[in-house]
Amino acid sequence: MTVSSRLLALSLGAALLAGCAGSPPPLPVAPPPPAAWSVDDPAIAVGEVRLDWWHAFGSAELDTLVARALAANHDLVAADANLRAARALAREARRARGVSGGAGAGVQRLRESSQAQPPVFITPEPFPDQTIANLGVDFAWEIDLAGGSAANARAAGAEADAALWERRRAEAAVAAQVVRAWLDLVRAEQLASLLRRRLDAMDRMLAVGASRAARGAATASDVAPLERLRAETAGELPLLDLAARNALRRIAVLTGEDPVGSARAFAAGVSRTPATPQALTVGDPRQLLRLRPDVQIAEARLIAAFERAGASRAALYPSLSLGAGTSLLAAPGALDEAGAFRFSIGPSINWGIFNLGQVRARIRASDAASEAAAAQWQGSLLAALEEADGAIDAWRSARSAAASAEAAHSAAGRAAATVRARARAGAASAFELAEAEADLLAAVASSLAAEANQREAWANVHLALGAGWTPD
């Protein structure tokens, strides 16, 4: 049997064996997403989602903080480095499909063993010492008959896509954390300011009560409930101040600064009155799956897992390589002589026929990994739809609660105006007036808290929709 006949028989046997192994399972098909969200509200419009959604709050301070965080946050620096590494590995995998080779040079002082030579009539004397120089180049190219190298390159490209979406997820998370910390700061400062005004009103009420008790018009038991309420209200103030300081510390860390020194140096007394968006623009559920970084990450990793499952089957086939090399091998001073030249060129075939049990085990492992990736991808689709639909519903509920709190605020304002009019006419005491003012401030505080909840719910919707990252 000639060499070519042997190669043909070996290739046919490998093809038969590979055919018995089967092809990788097909990629799963995503279930069609619903056409619309479960929430129906006139304030919710379907359209293009704004990625830089925090600008809707109308705060130059917030815009600056987010920009600083996106430029200096350490998590984003790490994500950038991981992205560069993944892209470099993808380039390496693509270039591995081409011609490889190198150049080399060296000098050796050596002696060959005479005892290892074929026997002759007279036992040879020890061979002389030699100095041999070597200068050459070699090339190799593995022909990707089974498609394993191409599949590995596609898998590495999918991993690079996953790293890109990981970077986008980190960017969206950092922006959202800055917005949340800033909103917490706004809430704490506004409520603390109102609380101090309520304490002032209670102090006026206590002064009136003490005056009445001194005249015998009231007793200590009449003033005691107000004293208790004043003490309970004053106990809320340190917690609000702490919440403001914690928000400042979070902002400092997110912007890559010292959380101790930066919190002290943060602009104090700045008017922070963010706008409260009264409308919401959302994409349909199909757009959500294109925007959500976690869904895109799961999809890219699914593709990578299935490509690796295909690449694992390439080991069932023989590998065919073409190689070529040339060199000069002689004493250092004789490299330019004709006898120093050597070369080699030709194909080679290799088949790990005795390792097929290990190959099949790797195939089963890669198939299982691809099934796990498919399950994670499908789970991420459902989780994304659930989170986004729930966030939209939560915003609608927060908006309704804020409207009710504003109605209560208006009612308290009308009641306070009535008491003021009666006080001017001498029909209401100073105590009643201070009490009405305290009730009004409590209603204002409830309204501000509800409005803050509405802003936070609006921000949560955009994070659930996958917004917050910057397109390439």
Query: Where does the pLDDT of residue 229 fall: very low under 50, low under 70, confident under 90, or very high at 90 and above?
Result: confident
Query: Where does the pLDDT of residue 222 fall: very low under 50, low under 70, confident under 90, or very high at 90 and above?
Result: low
The amino acid sitting at 107 is V
What is the DSSP code (8-state) at residue 317?
Answer: S
Give the helix, strand, coil percentages of the chain, each rounded to 5: 65, 10, 20
The amino acid sitting at 102 is G
Residue with tokens 């963010």: 274
In this predicted structure, which of 188-192, 242-246, 427-431 has the lowest mean pLDDT? 427-431
Q: Which of 146, 144, 155, 142 is nearest to 19 (CA)?
A: 146
Query: Where does the pLDDT of residue 5 fall: very low under 50, low under 70, confident under 90, or very high at 90 and above?
Result: very low
Query: Where does the pLDDT of residue 13 fall: very low under 50, low under 70, confident under 90, or very high at 90 and above?
Result: very low
**Residues in CB range of 75: below 8 A, 6 or more apart:** 170, 173, 174
As a residue count, the chain comes to 472
Domain range list for the chain: 13-98+147-312+357-464
pLDDT of 93 strictly over 60: yes
Q: Which of 19, 99, 23 is nearest to 312 (CA)?
A: 23
In this predicted structure, which of 68-72, 127-131, 132-136, 401-405 has the lowest mean pLDDT? 127-131
Q: Which of 24, 25, 28 is nearest to 380 (CA)?
A: 28
pLDDT of 114 strictly over 90: no
Distance CA 111, CA 452 (A): 86
Percent of the chain at pLDDT exceeding 90: 41
pLDDT of 41 strictly over 60: yes
Structure tokens at 323: 């190689």
CA dist 253 to 74, 175, 395, 460, Å?
Answer: 9, 13, 28, 21
pLDDT of 16 strictly over 60: no
Structure tokens at 116: 């290892």
pLDDT of 24 strictly over 70: no
For every residue of 14-32, DSSP letters joined together read HHHHHHHH-PPPPPPPPPP
Provide the pLDDT for residue 226: 76
Provide the pLDDT for residue 239: 93
Provide the pLDDT for residue 403: 94
pLDDT of 269 strictly over 80: no
pLDDT of 268 strictly over 90: no
Read off the pLDDT of residues 180-191 as tens digits, 9 standing for 90 and up: 999 999 999 888
Distance CA 39, CA 394 (A): 10
Provide the pLDDT for residue 450: 93
C-beta separation of 158 from 335 below 8 A:
no
C-beta separation of 82 from 299 below 8 A:
no
Phi, psi (deg, nearest 5) at residue 416: -65, -40
Q: What is the mean pLDDT of residues 112-140?
A: 76
Other beta carbons within 10 Å of 123: 9
Provide the pLDDT for residue 433: 77
Q: What is the mean pLDDT of residues 4-9?
A: 40
C-beta separation of 344 from 325 below 8 A:
yes
Mean confidence (pLDDT) of the chain:
84
Read off the pLDDT of residues 95-111 as tens digits, 9 standing for 90 and up: 888 888 889 999 898 87
Read off the pLDDT of residues 56-80 as tens digits, 9 standing for 90 and up: 999 999 999 999 999 999 999 999 9
Percent of the chain at pLDDT exceeding 70: 88
In this predicted structure, which of 175-189, 235-249, 277-291 has the lowest mean pLDDT? 277-291
Query: Where does the pLDDT of residue 7 fall: very low under 50, low under 70, confident under 90, or very high at 90 and above?
Result: very low
pLDDT of 264 strictly over 60: no
Query: Where does the pLDDT of residue 19 fall: very low under 50, low under 70, confident under 90, or very high at 90 and above?
Result: very low
Q: Which of 382, 356, 468, 459 is nearest to 50 (CA)?
A: 468
Provide the pLDDT for residue 21: 45
Q: Is the dihedral of CA 371, 314, 303, 84 positive or negative?
A: positive
pLDDT of 202 strictly over 50: yes
Surface-to-core class of residue 458, CB atoms within 10 Å of its CB (0-12 exposed, 13-18 middle, 19+ buried): buried
Q: Mapping DSSP to helix (H, G, I), strand (E, B) and coil, where does residue 68 land?
A: helix
Structure tokens at 224: 């005691």
Architecture category of domain 13-98+147-312+357-464 in CATH? Up-down Bundle (1.20)
CA dist 240 to 188, 248, 341, 358, 402, Å?
Answer: 5, 13, 85, 63, 21
**Residues in CB range of 368: below 8 A, 6 or more apart:** none
Provide the pLDDT for residue 341: 86
Query: Where does the pLDDT of residue 120 fall: very low under 50, low under 70, confident under 90, or very high at 90 and above?
Result: low
Q: Which of 202, 155, 137, 262 is nearest to 435 (CA)?
A: 202
Distance CA 363, CA 369 (A): 10
User: How does 40-76 read in b/e, with b if 16+ C-beta sit within 10 Å?
Assistant: eeeebeeeebebebbebbebebbeebbebbbeebebb
Query: Where does the pLDDT of residue 25 fall: very low under 50, low under 70, confident under 90, or very high at 90 and above?
Result: low
Provide the pLDDT for residue 99: 85
Q: What is the mean pLDDT of residues 229-250?
A: 89
pTM of the model: 0.81
95 compared with 432, residue with greater pLDDT: 95
394 compared with 419, residue with greater pLDDT: 394
Read off the pLDDT of residues 396-414 as tens digits, 9 standing for 90 and up: 999 999 999 999 999 999 9
Q: Which of 399, 276, 280 is nearest to 37 (CA)?
A: 280
Provide the pLDDT for residue 100: 85
**Residues in CB range of 251: below 8 A, 6 or more apart:** 65, 178, 181, 182, 185, 262, 266
